[in-house]
Amino acid sequence: MNYRHIYHAGNFADVLKHAVLARLIRYMQKKEGAFRVLDTHAGIGLYDLSSEEAQKTGEWVDGIGKLMQADLGPQVSELLEPYLSAIRELNPEGGIRFYPGSPKLARMLFRPQDRLSAMELHPEDYARLHRLFEGDHHARITELDGWLALGAHLPPKEKRGIVLVDPPFEEEDEYQRLAKGLERAYRRFPGGTYCLWYPLKKGAPIKEFHETLQALDIPKMLCAELIVRSDRGITGLTGSGLVIVNPPFTLKDELHQLLPALKDHLAQDRFASHRAFWLRGENKAVKDD
């Protein structure tokens, strides 16, 4: 309950998460049928990067700040267009003051038939999120522990959906909780696409986390990781990862283009790296750069 994403909005971890989320949404929209995005830890939805909190850390400067100024090349620019166009839409006068959280980004990319369910437990953040979407019949905002949503809110009535799980990782057992939450949710909604975010930092039990996921009875899990700096002498976040369950068949090739570009433009030292690989399913990995 202490975590507030305003301090981290628009950082390199958000860039990876939101770039992939936008690709997942666009893939779902290749079919006419409606789908739902379920965001279990939604935050406030829209962030003012000129606020005292965002300015205190300035993390966005080394994230979306760098990306918006980067020469990305035509292929990467095309892949990032849904994500970056939403940011430009929020900042019509140029620059980057407003940054969309996951629920706002998803809503901006929706067609008329698509829907959003967003959960937030923090009372103040829930109130702000609710005000942001007040009167929007495409969005259902609920004050709820997002972990509970992985049971009670699945499957969605549309029978198609993306489930984004982005917990604050305030507790030591969050990696195990994430794996258990996926196992529970998958039993209820095996056809859904799941996108699980996790932090990379010194001492994090990533190997054990991956092994726990590999032991689940889930056929296809693709993993993407972006590391922007060495963990030597640093106790905080050095990178982040995503586990995508039931990924679009195009996603691995898209990551092969996106991850090297993100590493090149968001690197904070010479130890930056990336990798994409199958935890379960296909065996061909995208090589580290």
Catalytic residue IDs: 166
Q: List the alpha helices (DSSP H) in the chain.
A: 12-28, 52-57, 64-68, 74-90, 102-109, 123-132, 146-152, 174-188, 206-214, 251-266
The CA distance from 167 to 41, in Å, is: 6
112: preceding bond cis by omega (within 30 degrees): no
Handedness of CA 280, 284, 288, 289 (dihedral sign): negative
120 has binding-site annotation: yes
Tell me which H or E stretch contains 8: none
41 has binding-site annotation: yes
Estimate the share of the chain in helix, then strand, then coil, as percent rounded to the nearest 5. Answer: 40, 20, 40
Closest CA to 147 of 125, 124, 121: 121
122 has binding-site annotation: no
138 has binding-site annotation: no
Q: Cβ distance 36 to 116 under 8 Å? A: yes
Tell me which H or E stretch contains 43: none
- Owner of token pair 């030597």: 232
Q: Cβ distance 165 to 41 under 8 Å? A: yes
134 has binding-site annotation: no
Closest CA to 60 of 95, 86, 94: 95
Amino acid residing at 217: D
146 has binding-site annotation: yes
Amino acid residing at 201: K
153 has binding-site annotation: no
Q: At what angle do helices 102-109 and 12-28 cross, to 10 degrees?
A: 30
Q: Cβ distance 17 to 67 under 8 Å? A: no
Q: Annotated binding site: which residue ranges?
A: 18, 41, 102, 120, 145-146, 166
Point out the annotated binding site for S-adenosyl-L-methionine: 18, 41, 102, 120, 145-146, 166
